[in-house]
Structure 1
Amino acid sequence: MVRMFKRSNGILYVEYMIGTKTVQKSTRLKDTKANRRLIEKEVIPTLERKIILGEVAGTKAKEFKYYAKIFLKDKEHIKTYNQLVSIVNVLNDRFGDIRINAINRAMIKEFVRDRLEINTPKTVNNYLTPLRGVFDNAIDAEAIKHNPCDKIKLPKHTKKSVEPFSSQQVDIILSKTFGWLQTFLAISFYTGMRTGEVLALMHSDIDLKNRVIRVRRSINKGKITTPKTDSSIRDVPIFDGLIKYLPKPSNSLWLFSKEDGKPYAAFSGSKQKEWRDLLKDCKIDYRKVYATRHTFIVSMLKNSDLSILEVAQLVGHTSTQMIIQNYGKFIKGEHLKINRKIKLFTDNSTDSMSQSAL
């Protein structure tokens, strides 16, 4: 009547029938010999007696939005919570009022196909991951036995290459704008700071005496947070070309602030339109404003004496891997600029090692 089994999470479960419905419940015990004996000798006999007496009822599945609410409650601590709320709202629009046990793989696949009409596979996966998490909560509550999102395959995502701006394009862009946007773009181009890091700058972060900008915070979806990683908390140098674009100190705490004195929540809305119109006016193909960061990194790799590790530290990367992977193709052929007059086989240490090896 009652059987015991183990799931992939290493926890022991019991399965039994209530009428025509199969019910699975977690014992919350790990799969050990001692726990198996305990379940066989105490849990199963007790459960079988309750089933016979009619004291056990099956778990009634609730609507999708109920489990989605639980999923969000468990994620309140993460930095991307607001973004996750937006995604779950989309999921609720599609599945919210449907009972969780009535949603099958065919419905999930249809949702995925619809999203792929407007989003890349990478973005669709951002919907599929929390969707899978909602169904996992339903499994934990024993409302369903299997996750309908399992083994849903997405097309391979080919990441679109972000083209950096040329030095001539940077000059044109900065010459054709003014005010806050000119300051924002100049800092972005000359420091490689992330968009959220630039928006979160305070006047006190700009140290002209020591010629550095202190990166101590970021803004993500209107929320002021620490930068992306520990290595992102850094000081970046103020190059000569940037000085003329830096504003004078003002009464405002923030370098870029709204009329109410608060910082801008994101580079979006009217700001995004102003950026798009600027590129159109400059007759430059549209790129996301994040391309300013790519432009800085490529320029540093090509024109400075810094090593790849030093460039990575300058822009707040945790390692050189991201630099090599994302920007190596833009400096292809730089090795051919090497001085041809270098004498390779005249080093004394090399000669001595060669002689000793004979």
Structure 2
Amino acid sequence: MGAVNAKNGTLYVDFQYRGVRCKEYTKLPDTPANRNRLKKLVDRIEAEILLGCFDYAAYFPNSKKCKKFQLIDERERQRKAYFDAADSPKFAEFANIWLAEMKVEWSKSHYMDVEGVLNKYLLPTFGNKKISAINKGQILQFRSILAKVPGRSKGFLSPSRINHIMTPLRVILNEAADRYDFTSPWKNIKALKVGRTEVDPFNLDEVELFLSAVEPEFHCYYTTRFFTGMRTGEIDALMWKDVDLDSKTITVSQSYVRGEMKALKTDGSYRVIHLTERVIQSLRAHKGNNTSKGKDLVFKNSKGAILNYAVVSRSVWYPTLETCNHKRRNPYQTRHTFATLLLASGESPEWIANQLGHTTTTMLFRVYSHYVPNLTRRDGSAFANFLNNGGQL
């Protein structure tokens, strides 16, 4: 709301234009008549701003702000002239160009992931829109619609999944804005808050019951998963050359993701896992039965090919959970189980982090400590025992 104010006995007008507070001083003395005159001027200015026909230079030709607003007007005129042209790029056109350019930088699995997001979510919504015409309101409306899309299980898409979908949209819009010199609509749009990693580990009794109920041909597979903490892609890519039964180690050096054998994501993921005697005995027995095709693979299907994790989950993992009357959990909980069992047994957090492929212990304490009640005490008893034992642990 514009106003008329006074400073040192003379009047000035105060109003908002294009988000900028504008103060323009006059030489008029502060009298009721002059205030009334300037109030009418402010009302007229605000009416023209509302109608979109306000010309700053026409009212204040000597103002320093004239040049600033003229530059903004010219830039918007040029942008409008370009993007209102018949050959103005549409979102789908630019997105396909961008995807082709990025293909050389990405892994096959990441490319497929982004391509899937484009085809399923972004192109149906924004494909026919001009890239410069997409505004912040449309982006936020799209995100609110995603929040109502059914997820894989009961409920709707998670905040993490929605953020995953929104990321390519943000990158594409910002890249187009940079190339075609328009203002990106992605301003002050924050990612949705994501809750803690879903951790629901098995206790040891649950592990034992599961292993006693699982099909014999998958006993070693799940024994190895539960007691090494290997990720699905890592264990599916495991070769016998990386298993040293004499040294009791597994070297994790690759992963199988979406039909592609690939290097691990981070340097920390390359690691040597130390095996318990139980895993060693299970692997020895499994190796002795390894007479079918695909002998280089530790775990494989009946045709000697790499396991399809979706098939194994559907036909082995979840049915075994039902047989044991266990709560429904995803297979990744085998990794969480390994971490919590190690922590509960009192192993060094640094060593555990190394076994899991983490470079620090931060994630261990942030994610897992809640599930190990005796990991840390908060009643001073640990310190008291330390003192009573003469400083001996």
TM interval, short-chain normalised:
0.7 to 0.9
User: Which residue of structure 1 aligns with residue 357 of structure 2?
Assistant: 316
* Worse overlay, 208-217 or 173-182: 173-182
Q: Which amino acid is the alignment partner of residue 368 of structure 2?
A: Y
Match of 2:279 among 232, 242, 264: 242
Deviation at 1:277, TM superposition (A): 1.9
* Worse overlay, 153-162 or 281-290: 153-162
Deviation at 1:196, TM superposition (A): 0.9
Matched, 1:124 2:162: yes
Match of 2:225 among 174, 179, 188: 188
Deviation at 1:281, TM superposition (A): 1.6
User: Which residue of structure 2 aligns with residue 37 of structure 1?
Assistant: none
Contact preservation (8 Å) 1:132, 1:149 = yes
- Judged with a 3 Å threshold, the aligned counterparts in structure 2 of structure 1 residues 272 and 175 are, in CA distance, closer, same or farther, namely same
**Paired positions, count:** 301
Whole-angstrom distance in 1 between the partners of 2:118 and 2:80: 30
Matched, 1:94 2:122: no
Whole-angstrom distance in 2 between the partners of 1:342 and 1:17: 75
Matched, 1:68 2:110: no
Whole-angstrom distance in 2 between the partners of 1:151 and 1:346: 57
Whole-angstrom distance in 2 between the partners of 1:62 and 1:99: 6
CA deviations 1:307-338 (Å, max 9, x no partner) are 11111011110111111111121223344585
Q: Which residues of 2 match residues 305-344 of structure 1 at below 5 A?
A: 306-336=347-377, 338=382, 342-343=386-387
Contact preservation (8 Å) 1:176, 1:278 = yes
Match of 1:280 among 315, 319, 322: 322
CA deviations 1:181-201 (Å, max 9, x no partner) are 332211110101111111110
Structure 2 residue ranges without an equivalent (≥5): 1-66, 149-155
CA deviations 1:209-241 (Å, max 9, x no partner) are 111112111112222112232122122122122
Whole-angstrom distance in 2 between the partners of 1:333 and 1:259: 44
Matched, 1:293 2:338: no
Runs of 4+ in 1 over 6 A off after TM superposition: none
Q: Which amino acid is the alignment partner of residue 306 of structure 2?
A: P
Whole-angstrom distance in 2 between the partners of 1:17 and 1:95: 24
Contact preservation (8 Å) 2:343, 2:375 = no
SS of corresponding position for 1:318: coil
Whole-angstrom distance in 1 between the partners of 2:80 and 2:268: 54
Percent pairwise identity: 27
- Judged with a 3 Å threshold, the aligned counterparts in structure 2 of structure 1 residues 176 and 16 are, in CA distance, closer, same or farther, namely closer
SS of corresponding position for 1:162: coil
Contact preservation (8 Å) 1:187, 1:242 = yes
* Worse overlay, 147-156 or 185-194: 147-156
Whole-angstrom distance in 1 between the partners of 2:282 and 2:259: 25
Contact preservation (8 Å) 1:190, 1:296 = yes
User: Which residue of structure 2 aligns with residue 31 of structure 1?
Assistant: none
Whole-angstrom distance in 1 between the partners of 2:217 and 2:255: 18
Whole-angstrom distance in 1 between the partners of 2:311 and 2:269: 27
Q: Which amino acid is the alignment partner of residue 321 of structure 1?
A: T
CA deviations 1:126-169 (Å, max 9, x no partner) are 11111011112321331x72323332345433235411101010
- Judged with a 3 Å threshold, the aligned counterparts in structure 2 of structure 1 residues 150 and 260 are, in CA distance, closer, same or farther, namely farther
Give the aligned CA root-mean-square deviation in angstroms.
3.0
Q: Which residues of 2 match residues 63-212 of structure 1 at below 5 A?
A: 63-76=90-103, 77-79=105-107, 80-90=110-120, 91-117=122-148, 118-142=156-180, 145-153=182-190, 155-159=192-196, 161-212=198-249
* Worse overlay, 223-232 or 337-346: 337-346
- TM norm structure 2: 0.68
Instruction: Specify the structure having the higher radius of gyration (Cα).
Output: 2
- Judged with a 3 Å threshold, the aligned counterparts in structure 2 of structure 1 residues 145 and 228 are, in CA distance, closer, same or farther, namely same
Q: Which amino acid is the alignment partner of residue 197 of structure 1?
A: E
Whole-angstrom distance in 1 between the partners of 2:348 and 2:114: 38
Match of 1:254 among 270, 273, 297: 297
- Judged with a 3 Å threshold, the aligned counterparts in structure 2 of structure 1 residues 339 and 150 are, in CA distance, closer, same or farther, namely closer
Contact preservation (8 Å) 2:318, 2:328 = yes
- Judged with a 3 Å threshold, the aligned counterparts in structure 2 of structure 1 residues 16 and 231 are, in CA distance, closer, same or farther, namely closer
SS of corresponding position for 1:141: helix
User: Which residue of structure 1 aligns with residue 310 of structure 2?
Assistant: 268
Contact preservation (8 Å) 2:313, 2:331 = no
Whole-angstrom distance in 2 between the partners of 1:65 and 1:74: 14
SS of corresponding position for 1:21: helix
Whole-angstrom distance in 2 between the partners of 1:62 and 1:260: 49
